[in-house]
């Protein structure tokens, strides 16, 4: 094995720095309507493209495929859906929303054509599987973000 050469770094100072970069992102009219509905009615809304019939969740103002204007075509999708894919986060970091291990999943809600990313809780990460039926559990306190849905939980029959 090659021997690692180490430069002498004694008396080489490292200047500490910290950048706080506050930002704000505008949800837009369609995105805001989506949040209002989550927050006030606990209903998940999508938009349906009259041209290609795709139902988009979260909503968008124009269809990304044919540029048809969509925001008049609200449809309510179910608060239930299936896990379309998932992964298990095993490491901890400041920017992550939960302590590891936790499940991040793409959830295809009933009636939607696009999946949304969210947390699945209430099941052992070893036991989660594609096709698992889950239901939205809403947050107690609103943040006016996608985290107004706290997580998705398996549906117990």
Running DSSP on this structure, what letter comes out for residue 69?
A: B
Q: Identify the residue among 32, 51, 92, 145 touching Zn ion (CB under 5 A).
A: 51
What's the closest the beta carbon of residue 53 comes to another protein, in angstroms? Answer: 12
What's the closest the beta carbon of residue 46 comes to Zn ion, in angstroms? Answer: 13
Residue with tokens 């690692």: 4
Among 42, 49, 43, 55, CA closest to 111: 55
Q: Are 46 and 55 in contact (CB under 8 A)?
A: yes
How far apart CA 71 and CA 62 sit, in angstroms, is 7
Site residues (vs another protein, CB under 8 A): 1-2, 4-9, 12-14, 17, 19, 23, 25, 27, 31, 54, 58, 64, 84-85, 87-91, 93-97, 104, 106, 113-119, 145-147
Binding-site ranges for Zn ion (CB under 5 A): 49, 51-52, 63, 65-66, 68
């Amino acid at each position: 094995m090659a021997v690692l050469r180490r430069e002498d770094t004694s008396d080489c100072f490292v200047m500490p720095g910290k950048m706080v970069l506050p930002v704000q992102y505008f949800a837009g009219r369609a995105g805001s309507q989506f949040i209002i509905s989550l927050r006030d009615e606990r209903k998940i809304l999508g938009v349906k493209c009259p041209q290609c019939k795709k139902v988009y969740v979260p909503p968008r103002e124009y269809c990304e495929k044919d540029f048809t204007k969509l925001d008049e075509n609200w449809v309510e999708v179910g608060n239930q859906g299936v896990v379309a894919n998932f992964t298990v986060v095993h490491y901890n970091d400041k920017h992550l929303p939960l302590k590891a291990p936790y499940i991040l999943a793409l959830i295809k809600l009933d009636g939607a054509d696009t999946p949304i990313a969210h947390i699945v809780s209430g099941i052992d990460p070893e036991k989660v599987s594609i096709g698992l039926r889950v239901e939205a559990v809403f947050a107690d306190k609103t943040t006016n973000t996608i985290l107004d849905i706290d997580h998705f939980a398996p549906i117990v029959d």
